[in-house]
Structure 1
């Protein structure tokens, strides 16, 4: 099998889906790798390192897509790449199709086989390929929120940790999963007052135990959310429903009650956003906008700002799947791996993930019915 590594074209996306070390592992098992020149530059991996690992450089992205049986990426393909799709080509990347119906329909029309990192799911409900980027995004949410609370960024001029005699900032986190937990770690480390709203009682007990009572937990319901939002200096949206659009938990009316100069960071923006006033994605170049006196940070590829860390963390968990897919092919690998089967979003012109199909308004066709 030929594995293809194109350069990411999303604005200010510097991650890469395969490191030279991963490339060498694929070549060692007898497969081929083709790399678009410059694909790894943003993460600090030179073309020469890929060549030394056994890869072949192509002339451009079109040649990578044309040659490869398996395309590995970080972010979802953009419209400029839709023309590269071809029948039965295997695509392995973050897709977030619930918020990208045009991409979903293009994958269906071209009959690309698409596996989404974010819907590969273990039996305990965890999302192993989403976890490392959720860890990065959760930590960055506090880092970016703290920056935009500074007055010259338009914020309230509040230091998260305060100082002796001055109270710390209030950080409200909606969702106590991987993103929320990592955001809480950072916020507590900086000395902020932290409240996590979560609907799962067992998860709240876990957070209370792990953080030894240093944060407060609240049951996530409309009343508690509305009351907490009013107090927030920094509000972090950290909710996720695998494969589906993020639920809108914070209404525009709630945002209107927030302090002037408060900051919202919605990590769920690539799944449609969990806060009503997050009505568009932003970029690292222009990361914020103001609405109702509140600073909104809505960057859809937050980990792209720290590409070296993010690339290494991501490829640590994707490479085994790539190796199996390259060695055994799609059908054999997926039939013997229930976790990977849950990652299949599109196959033979159909959407094979129930939540994705519901979100984009197309029929759901179970994968097993298409064998």
Structure 2
């Protein structure tokens, strides 16, 4: 483990439950609890629980909280009603994506901002820099003092009602949030998922999260690690800061401008989804056209368990990135595909991020 790698508050709990741990994106995380394929199958067929505490969590509270969010984020956080959550972007000076965040308005002037794990420091800096003179606001990093557990899958609502809080599924539509009590402790639920499945993000104190994780495991709910979750993320075509956005992509190039409702900026290439004949290739593998000319490069690439094939996201010249285009990556045939690569065909459960 490299120096400076962050440890999850529940790291010892995961090890006790059989997790194999390793560093990913600056955090020591569970890779698998034994069989990634079974963990993936449980996600798609029923429900899994996993620890997403590697994502940053910053509370912005006070009468000028929304002004701070407007100063730090692209989009319109002022339109976020109490009890609602939304996706926003942080842009750098060139207009490129610097972070992707989920903002939940937990109270009248209280917002939880959750971002990419490797952008925690930059998110906190940008929020603090947006505090103007005389503002009535508090910006507090809650990443180390809270945990974020997720229940995701077709049965997520039923299991949340059974083991967490009976009223939660009925109260929460997608991208809604609500405070609740679990065994006498105050917690927050946000109905969303980064897996392409229905899900509930539960923000709790570490001691409460440890108890809940143990309760879910004892009830037979599978725990899922990074390997299964990465397969689901790529199949849902949800970009990660590293490796997808790190090269410096505009919202249009990342194919997120319409989804986030923000200006697209620079065009000419796009983060496209693909299927690959053969095994996964490494990040940065050149993507070439039939004439051998490089038209892009591979970013995320995994064995997609739901597709039984290698798949991923690649930055490709827009003219060569239409669905059905046949290209080459590392000597293997690459087929550009429509997003998402996996779509649940059940009313009310399909989500694109």
TM range (shorter): under 0.3
Query: Normalized per residue, which structure has more strand?
Result: 2
Counting helix residues as a fraction of each chain, which structure ranks higher?
Answer: 1
> Relative CO higher for 1 or 2, CA cutoff 8 Å, sep ≥ 6?
1
Q: If you compute each CA radius of gyration, which structure gives the higher value, 1 or 2?
A: 1
TM-score normalized by the length of structure 2: 0.27
State the TM-score, normalized to the length of structure 1. 0.26
